[in-house]
Amino acid sequence: MFELITIVTELVLGYFSKINASVHENNGLYDVAVPDNFKKTLGDDVLKITFNPNLSKSTDYELISPGSSILSAILNECIAFGPTVIGRPTSHNLEYPVIRFYFYVVFESVKSKTKMLSVNIDTKNIQKINFDESEINFQTNHTNVRLNSDLIDYCYIESTDYLEKSMKSEINNFKNEILALKNEELQNINLEYQKKYEIIENKHTDLRSKNNSDASLQKLIDENESIKLEEAFVRKNLDHKYLISIDFALVASTVFV
């Protein structure tokens, strides 16, 4: 939970820095003056927000967390434009720039869930690293940072490779959970159509024993074909219903220098 709060806080404050919003913080409560050209996107000219669930319960400050309208608006903006923010750790200097990629991960099927994750990539070794950035000073002046576009691409690929490997178990668990739900429904479908075919078979046996007309037999054959078509349609819809999509959407990045 703490990691999620940290990621959301960094992303949102970084976005506000990017759009040159005026942010005033007092004991975890933030008053944000929104620039005119972003008022429509964010829904107001002044935002009163917090990232602390406890503070939101005792104040009129809106909690910014997955599901909140403000965070959704920011995520949509970031996905569309992919803003990059410059940050500088105040506790120490970095020998080489570090790129932090923020991802909005969506697991989607008959049930869905979302996660926000970030990955730090060292631009010297193109490797995932961890570092202490408890205090970050976001910069609005980008003129002193120059990164080769190929280098950024390599760092991005490394970040997605790391995410896919680190989330392999979670992804498999989600797929297995969906598969279990599908198999449960499939068993019910099998039982339902088994009963329908048994009814047809019983009717057929009854017709033969009573020497009924060919018209009655043809009607039964048509009914059987209709059930087969219905079953095929139901099974096709079942496959579509339980399709699984896992998307890693890059929503923003921070360059630490």
Angle at 10 between CA 161 and CA 12, to 5 degrees: 110
How far apart CA 33 and CA 48 sit, in angstroms, is 9
Residues of the chain with CATH 3.30.360: 1-81
Q: Which of 58, 172, 166, 155 is nearest to 107 (CA)?
A: 172
pLDDT value of position 141: 52
Topology of domain 1-81, per CATH? Dihydrodipicolinate Reductase; domain 2 (3.30.360)
pLDDT value of position 56: 80
According to DSSP, the β-strands at 84-89 and 136-139 are antiparallel
Which tokens is 88 given?
């500088």
- Only one residue has tokens 């940290």, namely 6
pLDDT value of position 139: 60
Q: Produce one character per residue of 77-94: b if its CB has 16 or more CB atoms within 10 Å, e if not.
A: bbeeeebbbbbebeeeee
Q: Produce one character per residue of 205-244: b if its CB has 16 or more CB atoms within 10 Å, e if not.
A: eebeeeeeeeeeeeebeeebeeeeeebeeeeeeeeeebeb
Per-residue pLDDT of the chain (257 residues; tens, 9 = 90+): 556 677 788 888 888 887 888 899 888 899 999 988 888 888 888 899 998 888 887 778 889 887 788 888 887 776 655 556 677 776 667 778 888 888 888 899 999 888 888 899 998 899 998 876 666 666 655 445 677 778 888 888 899 999 999 999 999 999 999 999 999 999 999 999 999 999 988 888 887 777 666 777 788 888 889 999 999 999 999 999 999 999 888 887 888 87
> What one-letter code names the amino acid at 127?
Q
